[in-house]
Amino acid sequence: MGDTWPGVVVRNKGGEDGTVPRKTSSNSPDILISGKDPFKDPSFLTDPANYGNDYDNQLYIGWPNYLYVRGKNFTDADLSGSWNLFFAEPNILLYPYLWEENQLATSSGNMNPPFDIKAGEIGASNDPFTWVPPDVSDHYCLIGIANTPDHGNPLAGVTNITSLAEVMANNANIAQRNVQMIRGARPQVVAKAGYNQGSEGARVDLAVVFRNIPKGSSYTVSSGTPLNGETLSYSEKDTKANDFKYAWVDQDIPAQWDTMFTYTLTFGQDWSGIPAGARPEVEIRGELVQGEDDPLYRLGVDPGLDPVTGAARVSVRGGPVRIVTAGSVRTVCVDIGP
């Protein structure tokens, strides 16, 4: 059991119960997009019956969009504060310098719309944030914060991967929605995600996780920027499973290493084994590798076997290894299925 977060919780993923530390993710159900039209009555977002819904609506590039931030007060005291919402171009590690200058305002022009949330209740921004995403990216990342007097932006000043992972695990008033929704029944999907190591070199797994993929598919994931003298590229044809993972493990990434990953997925024809209603998705992650003597080992999870060699993972000192997800970009193919 962890400790109850003493402010308003903006979830990074579904299932969070207000305790910290939490497992980091970039799939917040509490950053909501209603598209070109605002929700007619946004109070439905605060209904406990709807707290499990994330309303994956489309972001329209070049059009006015309406967005909301939601949070829950898991404490036994009433809390007051304000919502913030920011945007960034797609990047696996969302350092604040990528988004702090990109703050959105509501329809009434307020960048800090207030909230008052009673103990145990859910709140949401009633006056939606309004934004016309510029046509410079195929999707954007969103960062939502619930500010209370004792808990503002916890990422202020963070420039290194260790602090990024630690802050996102130990502070539950900030969340990221780094999800690209691919529309249309396309036989092939191409997407991209930036990566910047930041001010600290570290040992990192660069992982690509595939879910609900039809058998017989093919894919390529690559980055053209040399890392330790080699470029990163991997391809597979005629896949045999629906869920699988590839990773470049134990990469010693120097500070400021900067690249763009691209991934191409061509769908096969065998949809057997995929649950009804599930849709293909690809997630590319930066996973901080921690040995038992490293500071964030307690926050990590078992990495499983090496996805390439099948061998057990060990640290440079020969002990156990855990991984902490520091950031990710997820692509969901919402209109593709059997």
Average pLDDT in the 165-182 region? 91
224 or 25, higher pLDDT: 224
The Cα-based distances of 167 to 46, 99, 170, 274 in angstroms read: 27, 16, 5, 35
Q: What is the pLDDT of residue 72?
A: 98
pLDDT of amino acid 183: 74
pLDDT at 85 over 90: yes
pLDDT at 151 over 80: yes
* pTM of this structure: 0.93
Beta pairing class for 202-211 and 31-35: unpaired
Q: What is the pLDDT at residue 265?
A: 95
Please provide the DSSP assignment of 9-75 as one string: E--SSTT--SEES----SB-TTEEEEETS--S-GGGGG-GGGTT---BPPP-TTS-EEEEEEEEE-S
Q: Is the pLDDT of residue 73 over 70?
A: yes
Query: Under the phi-then-psi rule, with left for phi > 0, alpha for psi from -120 to 50, and beta for the rest, what region is 35?
Result: left
User: Please, which pLDDT band fits residue 180 given cuts at 50, 70 and 90?
Assistant: confident
Written as six digits, the tokens of 278 are 């599930």
* Residues 224, 210: Cα–Cα separation, whole Å: 21
Q: Quick one: pLDDT at residue 25?
A: 81
Q: What residue ranges define each of the domains in the chain, with the CATH number in brackets?
A: 3-177 (2.60.40.10), 182-333 (no CATH)
Distance between CA atoms of 299 and 166, rounded to whole angstroms? 8
How does pLDDT run across 105-139, given as a tens digit for each residue?
Answer: 999 999 999 999 999 999 999 999 999 999 888 78
d(CA 214, CA 200): 39
Least confident span in 98-107, 179-188, 311-320: 179-188
How far apart (Å, rounded) are the C-alpha atoms in residues 318 and 315? 5
**What is the SS3 assignment for 188?**
strand
Residue 255 has phi, psi (to 5 degrees) of: -55, 140
Residues, the chain: 338
Specify the pLDDT at position 308.
Answer: 83
266-308 pLDDT, tens digit each = 999 999 999 998 999 999 999 999 999 999 999 999 999 988 8
Tell me the pLDDT band of 1, cut-offs 50, 70 and 90.
Answer: low
